[in-house]
Amino acid sequence: MVNQSHPLDDVFHALSDPTRRAVVGRLLKGAAPVSRLAEPFDMGLPAFMKHLSVLETSGLIRTEKRGRVRTCHIEAARLAAAEDWLAEQRAEWQGRSDRLAEFVESQNRKEPKA
């Protein structure tokens, strides 16, 4: 498990925390400076900056600094990558459930109740 990490590793890790999920939700409404983003959270700025760092490493957000203001932006494509992976899994699952339902149905047709 010490091999190269997959981008999804970092994305799902970033999403495994409620503060980081809330930041993602907020940034989907529009870019925001760090100071405004931090306001709703009951934690010190250093702790909050660590969360932003995890989000930035995952590629879910990018930040830019102009003068003294650092602004955060969502990177929706990376969020879509996580959703795509889950959608693929669901398709696999649904395909299997459909095949199972077809099989049960075909068995029912073969063996009508006496």
Please, are residues 27 and 61 in contact by the beta-carbon 8 Å criterion? yes
Report which of 37, 38, 81 is spatially closest to residue 59, judged by C-alpha positions: 81
Does 19 contact a second copy by CB under 8 A? yes
Cβ–Cβ under 8 Å, residues 85 and 94: no
State which of residues 36, 44, 45, 47 lies at the interface with a second copy (CB under 8 A). Answer: 47
- Say whether residue 34 binds a second copy (CB under 8 A): no
For residue 8 the two structure tokens come to 């999804």
Nearer to a second copy, 24 or 38 (CB): 24
Closest approach of a second copy to the CB of residue 3, in Å:
8
- Please, what's the b/e burial string for 19-29 (b: 16 or more CB within 10 A of its CB; e: otherwise)? bbeebbeebee
Provide the binding-site residues for a second copy, judged by CB under 8 A.
1, 5-6, 8-13, 15-19, 21, 24-25, 28-30, 43, 47, 74, 76, 79-80, 82-83, 85-87, 89-90, 92-93, 96
